[in-house]
Amino acid sequence: MPNAPQFDATPDLQKQCGIWLEGLTVEKRLSPHTVSGYARDLAQFLTFLNTHYGRAPALADMSALPLSDLRAFLAARRRSGAQSRSLNRSVSGLRNFVRFLERHDLPVSPAFGLLSMPKQPRSLPRPVAQNDALAMIQLALEGAAIAWVGQRDAGLLCLLYGGGLRVSEALGLNVENLPALGNDVLRIRGKANKEREVPLLPVIHQTLDDYMHAAPFGFAPQDPVFRGTRGGRLSARQAQMMVARLRRALGLADTVTPHALRHSFATHLLAAGGDLRTIQELLGHSQLSSTQIYTEVDAQSLRDVYDKVHPRARQS
């Protein structure tokens, strides 16, 4: 694998690490961000073993690793400040690497399968209120110093809130990915290269069309839809800064982020009577359990309203 990261390990183990990462990129077609995360987690584990053993770990160590060493690694990560979410990702990455070794008939320790995932507190998504989401879109249109930039930002916000896209999915769109006028289906390629269809509301289609006609450069089929002032693809960081600027201007909470607009899409659909299976498909969730969390958000919203307005709640 070109430019493969160097791991704190013997050459035989380093080689397998490189082949694994190349497979994640070429065969599994995982995003560079995901592959980089897996590589970082594995590197941390091997660096720990290097210190723990007083020598570079070898491929043979993967077959003889005791459960106590794996627990010691997680304990060391915890002491360094890692939270349960990060530890779970580390365990997931190690198991992925171990499964790769098994597929290539390389012996691995059963300890990897016995290691339990660290428990993490269950946190509910924090959606943006409908009025606040619409106010952000309006402010983007009316408050921008450069008109076409405001139209671009409004188009992006519309896709996140009105289509439930991840910000990476929206920013990854090229002109050729957009449906022609009159076609209301947008095909999105999301996580794990999974494709889904998202209805494109006429108002969103029109907002994007207005932006692309107002922008000071042409749009070839291979060009990105969302472009910066110099014509390059808009970055996730730029999108986050744009949302942060709007929320500060409107006095909204710090939890108002690009991803929170996706949460709003799901929560508001559910509140309007949408069924979980349909919302699962629209969001591109592999597991229904990932979508079911929005039922808890909806229930919490109902409890909040009850506590605020019901006479008996005020008396208690």
Per-residue confidence (pLDDT) for residue 125, from 0 to 100: 57
> Is the pLDDT reported for residue 184 higher than 50?
yes
| Lowest-confidence segment of 88-102, 182-196, 230-244 by average pLDDT | 182-196
> Is the pLDDT reported for residue 71 higher than 70?
yes
Kindly name the residue from 77, 152, 227, 262 that is annotated as catalytic. 262
> Is the pLDDT reported for residue 312 higher than 80?
no
Q: What is the pLDDT of residues 221-251, one digit of tens each?
A: 999 999 999 999 999 999 999 999 999 999 9
For the question of residue 285 being annotated catalytic, the response is yes
> Is the pLDDT reported for residue 212 higher than 60?
yes
Q: State how far the Cα of 233 lies from the Cα of 214, in Å rounded to an integer.
A: 17
- Which residues touch 53 (CB under 8 Å, ≥6 apart)? 61
Considering only residues 150 and 29, tell me which one the structure prediction assigns the higher pLDDT. Answer: 150
Q: Provide mean pLDDT across the span 58-63.
A: 93
Considering only residues 5 and 105, tell me which one the structure prediction assigns the higher pLDDT. Answer: 105
Kindly name the residue from 77, 152, 166, 205 that is annotated as catalytic. 166
Kindly name the residue from 78, 196, 245, 259 that is annotated as catalytic. 259
- Which residues touch 88 (CB under 8 Å, ≥6 apart)? 117, 118, 120
What is the per-residue DSSP string for 229-291?
TTSSBPPHHHHHHHHHHHHHHHT--TT--HHHHHHHHHHHHHHTT--HHHHHHHHT-SSHHHH
In which band, very low, low, confident or very high, does the pLDDT at 303 lie, cut at 50, 70 and 90?
A: very low
> Is the pLDDT reported for residue 218 higher than 50?
yes
In which band, very low, low, confident or very high, does the pLDDT at 29 lie, cut at 50, 70 and 90?
A: confident
- Amino acid identity of 232? G
**Mean per-residue pLDDT over the chain, rounded:** 83
Q: Domains for the chain: give ranges and CATH numbers.
A: 11-114 (1.10.150.130), 130-309 (1.10.443.10)
Q: Kindly tell me the burial class for residue 44, based on how many C-beta atoms sit within 10 Å of its own C-beta (0-12, 13-18, 19 or more).
A: buried
Kindly name the residue from 189, 191, 196, 233 that is annotated as catalytic. 191
Strand segments, DSSP code E, in the chain are: 185-189, 195-199
- Are the C-beta atoms of residues 253 and 264 closer than 8 Å to each other? no
Q: State how far the Cα of 7 lies from the Cα of 80, in Å rounded to an integer.
A: 20
Nearest CA among 278, 284, 239 for reference residue 260: 239
For the question of residue 262 being annotated catalytic, the response is yes
Q: State how far the Cα of 125 lies from the Cα of 63, in Å rounded to an integer.
A: 40
- Are the C-beta atoms of residues 261 and 140 closer than 8 Å to each other? no
- Are the C-beta atoms of residues 165 and 198 closer than 8 Å to each other? yes
Neighbours of 215 (CB within 10 A): 17
For the question of residue 191 being annotated catalytic, the response is yes
For the question of residue 308 being annotated catalytic, the response is no
Nearest CA among 82, 110, 108, 93 for reference residue 7: 93
Q: State how far the Cα of 9 lies from the Cα of 125, in Å rounded to an integer.
A: 40
Kindly name the residue from 152, 205, 247, 285 that is annotated as catalytic. 285
Per-residue confidence (pLDDT) for residue 120, from 0 to 100: 56
Kindly name the residue from 38, 161, 211, 294 that is annotated as catalytic. 294
> Is the pLDDT reported for residue 306 higher than 70?
no
Q: What is the pLDDT of residues 33-60, one digit of tens each?
A: 888 889 999 999 999 999 999 999 999 9
With the CA atoms of 270, 275, 278 and 283 taken in that order, what torsion angle do they form, in degrees rounded to the nearest 10? 30
pTM value is 0.59
